[in-house]
């Protein structure tokens, strides 16, 4: 069966169709959930479509991996049980003891914990740097020893914007890979591989899944070689081959139902992001004018220090924003009083969420260079009616300390 080539199609056409040809046997329009662990062989080694055992490959996961690769403009996608499982597999595939990693000084706390505490114990060193300061990044790079420059843009929870093109130059000059965690922006708004990145990381738990009902992660790559002329244990020298080996060798794969739910979410990513960001801009504009709010961090506001860079490297400003309210007590009051915004960790679902990073998502980085302001409130602006969202925050801010 010949499959259509979707590479020239627009973003939504690709997320809806790439890797998702109707089932050849039944015509099923949606790729089925292949709840099978193994596959009948037509004689020893006679695999149908390459399927042998579902840790190695499963058709539902293949559909998701193909669609994600297409969405990011990469050549290969890999789906995992969580965003951190994806990160763990990537770092194991690329790093060796004695290597050095640069990561943002406001990285996602779980990424920081993985690099600093898990890989740190295996002899990998790291430096947390303000990635908006290119001189500081260049000064922190150790040529030949730094193998990964890890980028998040926008960052969580401070919405910092860093220059992917410039950072790719710094990383590549030192022989390192540039890895971009694209969870906040999504491929609809930002495609790091086209900006020079080597690997894109996603927590598909967030916008890609989009409905707060599934945990997952993904890696997408182009044709990058492993740093330092390395090869994977199976002899392949490119990142894609190394990831294929490690995904199977350590096995933290997305299960078929999680893959199916994530693919279902991916199909509507573009329309959801359009609404997320329209609502976020309205909420940010409201908050910026509010007397009890001391600062609003949203890249779509001209007051944001990364606004111009974001306008250049992104196709929109996304649905996440943070704001400061002067004291920790006021921040705790706001998150407790909100009703349409649900008090919860995570982000990127259709429903609006609100949280206190200092005590919740970023509690694990307290006391480190990644500590966040105590009066900070983070919101994931959902796709509800924007008037209800603004009214809820107006009410929550009323009477705060
Ligand atoms: C949630 C998140 C992760 C981790 O993903 P999980 O699916 O929770 O393992 C990584 N990076 C960012 C930016 C995230 O928001």
> Which domains can be identified in the chain, with CATH numbers?
11-266 (3.40.640.10), 270-397 (3.90.1150.10)
Q: Is the dihedral of CA 377, 134, 316, 101 positive or negative?
A: negative
183 Cα nearest atom in ligand 1: 13
89 CB neighbour count, 10 Å cutoff: 26
Q: Residue 366: is its pLDDT beyond 90?
A: no
End-to-end CA, the chain: 66
Q: Going by CA atoms, what residue is nearest to atom 7 of ligand 1?
A: 83
Ligand 1: does its nearest atom lie under 6 Å from the Cβ of 252? Answer: no
Distance 399 CA to ligand 1 centre (A): 34
Interior angle at CA 364, CA 362 and CA 365, nearest 5: 70
- Cα distances from 158 to residues 107, 307, 395, in angstroms, run 10, 13, 24
Which pLDDT value is given to residue 2?
Answer: 56
In degrees, rounded to 5, the angle at the alpha carbon of residue 361 between the alpha carbons of residues 358 and 106 is 75
Structure tokens that stand for 159 in this block: 């919405």
Look over the chain and give the mean of its residue pLDDT values, rounded to a whole number: 96
Mean local confidence (pLDDT), 14-29: 95
pLDDT value at residue 3: 75
Q: Is 186 a pocket residue for ligand 1 (Cβ < 6 Å)?
A: no
* 230-234, Cβ contacts within 8 angstroms, sequence gap of 24 or more: 230/94, 230/96, 232/93
- Is residue 399's pLDDT more than 90? no
Q: Which residues are catalytic?
A: 55, 108, 181, 206
Residue 401's pLDDT is what?
64
Whole-number pLDDT of residue 1: 45
For residue 279, pLDDT over 70 is answered with yes
| pLDDT category of residue 350 using cuts at 50, 70 and 90 | very high
**Mind listing the pLDDT tens digit for each residue in 43-68?**
999 999 999 999 999 999 999 999 99
Nearest CA to ligand 1 atom 8: 83
Q: Does the CB atom of residue 181 touch ligand 1 within 6 A?
A: yes
Burial class (CB in 10 A: 0-12, 13-18, 19+), 47: middle
What whole-number percentage of the chain has pLDDT above 70?
99
Element (H, E) at 79: strand 76-80
The finding on whether 83 has its CB within 6 A of some atom of ligand 1 is yes
pLDDT digits (tens, 9 = 90+) for 160-183: 999 999 999 999 999 999 999 999
- Angstrom distance (rounded) from CA 145 to CA 96: 10
The helix/strand/coil state of 105 is: coil
- Predicted TM-score (pTM) of the model is 0.96
Q: Return the ligand 1 atom nearest residue 216 CA.
A: 7
Cis amide prior to 24 (ω within 30 degrees): no
| Ligand 1 atom closest to residue 84's alpha carbon, by position in its atom list | 9
Distance from the alpha carbon of residue 393 to the mean position of ligand 1, in angstroms = 26
Burial of 335 (0-12, 13-18, 19+ CB in 10 A): buried
């Amino acid at each position: 069966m010949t499959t259509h080539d979707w590479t020239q199609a627009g973003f939504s056409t690709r997320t809806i169709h790439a890797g998702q040809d109707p089932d050849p046997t039944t015509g099923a329009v949606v790729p089925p959930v292949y709840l099978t662990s193994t596959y009948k062989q037509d004689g020893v080694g006679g695999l149908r479509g390459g399927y042998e055992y579902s840790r190695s490959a499963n058709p539902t996961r293949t559909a998701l991996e193909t669609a994600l690769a297409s969405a990011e403009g990469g050549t290969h996608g890999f789906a995992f049980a969580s965003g951190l499982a994806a990160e763990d597999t990537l770092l194991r595939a690329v790093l060796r003891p004695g290597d050095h990693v640069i990561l943002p000084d406001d990285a996602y706390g779980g990424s920081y914990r993985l690099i600093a505490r898990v890989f740190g114990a295996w002899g990998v060193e790291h430096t947390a740097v303000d990635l908006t300061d290119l001189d500081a990044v260049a000064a922190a790079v150790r040529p030949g020893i730094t193998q990964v420059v890890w980028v998040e843009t926008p960052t969580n929870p401070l919405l910092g914007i860093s220059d992917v093109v410039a950072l790719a130059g710094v990383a590549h000059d030192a022989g390192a890979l540039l890895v971009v965690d694209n969870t906040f922006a999504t491929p609809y708004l930002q495609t790091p591989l086209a900006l020079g990145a080597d690997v894109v990381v996603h927590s598909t738990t967030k916008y890609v899944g989009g409905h707060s009902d599934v945990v997952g992660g993904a890696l997408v790559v182009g044709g990058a070689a492993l740093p330092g002329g390395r090869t994977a244990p199976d002899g392949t020298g490119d990142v894609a081959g190394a990831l294929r080996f490690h995904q199977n060798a350590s096995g933290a794969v997305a299960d078929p139902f999680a893959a199916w739910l994530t693919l279902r979410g991916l199909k509507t990513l573009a329309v959801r992001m359009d609404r997320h960001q329209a609502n976020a801009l309205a909420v940010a504009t409201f908050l910026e004018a509010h007397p009890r709010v001391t600062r609003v961090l949203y890249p779509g506001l001209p007051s944001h220090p990364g606004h111009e860079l974001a306008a250049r490297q992104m196709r929109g400003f996304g649905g996440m924003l943070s704001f400061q309210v002067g004291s920790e007590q006021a921040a705790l009051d706001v998150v407790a009083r909100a009703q349409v915004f649900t008090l919860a960790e995570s982000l990127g679902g259709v429903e609006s969420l609100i949280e206190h990073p200092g005590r919740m998502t970023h509690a694990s980085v307290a006391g480190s260079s990644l500590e966040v302001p105590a009066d900070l409130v983070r919101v994931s602006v959902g796709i509800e009616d924007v008037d209800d969202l603004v009214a809820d925050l107006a009410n929550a801010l009323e009477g705060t300390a």
